[in-house]
Structure 1
Amino acid sequence: MALLSSKIFPYVKSYLIKNQNRPLLVEGAGLLPHLVKELECQASSYLCLTPTADFQKKHYIQREWVPYVLEGTTNPEQAFENWMQRDILFAQMVRKEAMKLGYSSLVTDGSQPENQTAEEVARLLKLSNKNRRNI
């Protein structure tokens, strides 16, 4: 996963550099903390939002394309479990790396309403309250 992120990041980096004077909200596994650090991004401008293991499993299985990914495996249930364990470890690694580099990290378990999570993200990123919309 980290190797894939390293391959994706040059494309993301180019976009971020071109748009560095605009506020951006970007998401994806390609935005690893050590790669974002290369951009000399201020700590208050970057946040890792990662799921708990239970949230990850509950919501990933609901994605309509997951069965197609698993259909070529000999044991789809075990393949899904292995996949989720890999992603859970990846999220843990991202959180540790963010902390080490001085970036904020927020773990979501889905128990808060979306607007509460958005408020917490805004607080951590020190975003202004003006022009904020309810979601």
Structure 2
Amino acid sequence: MALLSSKIFPYVKSYLIKNQSRPLLVEGAGLLPHLVKELECPTSSYLCLTPTADFQKKHYIQREWVPYVLEGTTNPEQAFENWMQRDILFAQMVRKEAMKLGYSSLVTNGSQPENQTAEEVARLLKLSNKNRINI
């Protein structure tokens, strides 16, 4: 997963550099903390939002394309479990790396309404217009 992120990042980096004069909200596994650090991104401008293991499993299985990914496996249930364990470890690694580099990290378990999570993100990123967040 980290190797794939490193391969994706040059494209993301190019986009971020072209648009650095405007605020951006971007997401994805290609935005690993150590890669973002290369852009000299201020710690107040980057946040890792990662799921708890339970949240990830519950919501990932609901994605309509997941069965298509698993259909070629000999044991789809085990394949899904292995996939989730890999992604759970990846999320833990991202959180640790973010903290090590001084970036904020927020773990979501889905218990808060989306707007409350958005407000917490806005607070952590010190966004002045957090009262205008509509989800």
Question: How would you bin the TM-score normalised by the shorter chain?
Answer: over 0.9
After TM superposition, which residue ranges in structure 1, 4 or more long, deviate above 3 angstroms? none
Gapped regions of structure 2 (runs ≥ 5)? none
Number of aligned residue pairs:
135
Normalising by structure 1, report the TM-score.
0.98
Identity of aligned residues (%): 96
Give the Å deviation of 1:86. Answer: 0.1
- The CA distance in 1 between the partners of 2:27 and 2:5, in whole Å, is 12
Give the Å deviation of 1:132. Answer: 1.5
Normalising by structure 2, report the TM-score.
0.98
- The CA distance in 2 between the partners of 1:130 and 1:59, in whole Å, is 26
Give the Å deviation of 1:131. Answer: 6.8
Gapped regions of structure 1 (runs ≥ 5)? none
Shift in CA distance, 119/130, structure 1 to aligned 2, threshold 3 Å? closer
- The CA distance in 2 between the partners of 1:6 and 1:103, in whole Å, is 19
Q: Is the 8 A contact 2:49 2:106 kept in 1?
A: yes
Once the two structures are overlaid, the 10-residue window that deviates more, 125-134 or 60-69, is 125-134
The RMSD of aligned alpha carbons is 0.9
- The CA distance in 2 between the partners of 1:31 and 1:63, in whole Å, is 22
Please state whether the residue corresponding to 1:115 is helix, strand or coil. helix
